[in-house]
């Protein structure tokens, strides 16, 4: 490949793209330029090889770090990641672990062994639910697009009636060796990618991948008491592994919508209730409909002030995967009337005439402090 062609540009991603973005872009481009889809087109075949080489480099954290620092020089003779050359796929050393395996053999897991089947990727799905759903629990149906095992080839990647053969380049070992100075360097076979086998006739539907993208409907059971950031694991519902390998898992991340009345802190439900100034002065009761469908009676003590919190035990959120229920906390807000009848104004004036100043101790203390401050300033 020409050194002028940037790997990131080939894969049509930014330099800070994560693994999932790299993989998604590679799969789309690979399907677009695959030789089976473009028979006889040399440009497509060359492009397919280029993007495959780019992805083989960037999907490996160590190779990607070397490429980000040194560019293509990292894999050329004399470069920090240079190989011995002479093998299809260029002078790439492969994993650093491959170098040590070739030197120390079985002390690092045994050289020359085929790669084990790669498990499919785990997937994430963000699900928004209401506070009522978090309180009572719920079963919801979601739809996800996920790579699933290809039905025509049963995940093998080979056309029905055909199979796989031993890789001619590595002889079925999954690795090839090259002399590098005093050392014999071993790396993953670029033809079979470590599997030791190659597909004779790739499946026409999945193009030898053994999996295809498909939209699936799944049921998710949401337990009582879940909170923001909780996640639910659906084992084996993630991306299918290549060539029949086991699938990954699907993780459901929960987000709770803001409620019109209640806020939440762990298992505590909080709300703010306005009361009239006569109820605040004389005391009384209010009813708060709870998430449990019960009207909870809250006793208002006489003389309560704005901001005072009243607690109702056992009227909050259930404990997730446990026993017990949290509390309901009601913050009182004393509301001053904005519309008064003539008679109400008359009664309030009569009450005002009887005030001694001791009815509101907080106000009396505040104005006494103000008088002292004013006296200090004017002396």
Weakest-pLDDT range from 11-15, 68-72, 277-281, 283-287: 68-72
For the ranges 78-82, 90-94, 120-124, the one whose mean pLDDT is highest: 120-124
Q: Is residue 177 part of a domain?
A: no
248, 354: one domain? no
Q: Is residue 109 part of a domain?
A: no
Annotated binding-site ranges for Zn(2+) = 150, 153, 167, 170, 189, 192, 203, 206
Compute the average pLDDT of residues 119-137.
92
- Of the pLDDT bands very low, low, confident and very high (cuts 50, 70, 90), residue 128 is very high
Which pLDDT tens digit goes with each residue over 208-233? 878 888 898 999 999 999 999 999 99
Q: What is the pLDDT of residue 182?
A: 63
Feature table: binding site: 150, 153, 167, 170, 189, 192, 203, 206
Of all residues in the chain, the percent with pLDDT exceeding 70 is 82
Q: Would you call 296 helix, strand, or coil by DSSP?
A: strand
41 and 150 co-located in one domain: no
pLDDT at 113: 47
CB-based contacts of 220, cutoff 8 Å, min separation 6? 127, 139, 140, 141, 142, 232, 234, 252
Per-residue pLDDT of 275-333, as tens digits, reads 998 999 999 999 999 988 899 999 999 999 999 999 999 999 999 988 899 999 999 99
Let me know if residue 89 belongs to a domain: no
Same domain, 336 and 369: yes
Q: How big is the chain, counted in residues? A: 379
- What is the count of structural domains for the chain? 3
How far apart are the C-alpha atoms of 200 and 205, rounded to whole Å? Answer: 15
231 vs 208: CA distance, rounded Å: 34
The least confident of 174-183, 203-212, 232-241 is 174-183
DSSP bridge pairs for 284: 300
Quick one: pLDDT at residue 78? 45
**Residues spanned by the domain of 46:** 1-82
Q: Report the pLDDT averaged over residues 50-69.
A: 85
Are both 235 and 351 inside the same structural domain? no
CATH of the domain at 342: 2.60.260.20
CB of 157 closer than 8 Å to CB of 199: yes
Residue recorded with tokens 């083989």: 56
Residues 227 and 145 in one domain: yes
Residue pair 3/57 in contact by the 8 Å Cβ criterion: no
Residue pair 334/304 in contact (Cβ under 8 Å)? The answer is yes
Please, what is the average pLDDT of the chain?
A: 81
């Amino acid at each position: 490949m020409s050194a002028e062609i940037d790997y990131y540009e080939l894969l049509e991603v930014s330099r800070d793209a994560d693994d999932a973005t790299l993989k998604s872009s590679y799969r789309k481009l690979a399907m677009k330029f695959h030789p089976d889809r473009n028979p006889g087109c040399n440009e497509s075949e060359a492009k397919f090889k280029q993007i495959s080489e780019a992805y083989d480099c960037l999907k490996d954290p160590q190779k990607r770090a070397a490429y980000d620092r040194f560019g293509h020089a990292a894999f050329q003779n004399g470069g920090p990641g240079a190989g011995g050359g002479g093998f299809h796929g260029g002078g790439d050393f492969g994993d650093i672990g491959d170098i040590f395996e070739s030197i120390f053999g079985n002390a690092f897991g045994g050289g020359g062994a085929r790669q084990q089947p790669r498990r499919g990727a785990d997937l994430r799905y963000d699900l928004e639910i209401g506070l009522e759903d978090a309180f009572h629990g719920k079963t919801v149906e979601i739809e996800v697009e996920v790579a699933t095992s290809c039905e025509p080839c049963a995940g093998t990647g080979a056309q029905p009636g055909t199979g796989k053969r031993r890789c001619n380049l590595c002889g079925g070992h999954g690795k090839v060796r090259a002399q590098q100075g005093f050392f014999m360097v071993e790396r993953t076979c670029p033809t079979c990618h470590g599997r030791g086998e190659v597909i004779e006739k790739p499946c026409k539907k999945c193009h030898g991948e053994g999996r295809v993208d498909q939209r699936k409907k799944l049921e998710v059971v949401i337990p009582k008491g879940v909170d923001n950031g909780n996640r639910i694991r659906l084992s084996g519902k993630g991306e299918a592994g290549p060539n029949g390998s086991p699938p990954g898992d699907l993780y459901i991340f929960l987000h709770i919508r803001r409620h019109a009345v209640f806020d939440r802190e762990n298992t505590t439900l909080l709300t703010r209730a306005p009361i009239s100034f006569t109820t605040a002065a004389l005391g009384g009761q209010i009813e708060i409909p709870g998430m449990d469908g019960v009207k909870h009676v809250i006793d208002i003590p006489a003389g309560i002030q704005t901001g005072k919190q009243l607690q109702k035990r056992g009227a909050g959120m259930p404990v997730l995967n446990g026993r017990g229920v949290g509390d309901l906390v009601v913050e009182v807000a004393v509301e001053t009337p904005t519309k008064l009848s003539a008679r109400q104004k008359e009664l309030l004036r009569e009450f005002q005439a009887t005030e001694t100043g001791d009815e509101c101790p907080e106000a009396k203390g505040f104005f006494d402090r103000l008088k002292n401050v004013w006296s200090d300033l004017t002396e």
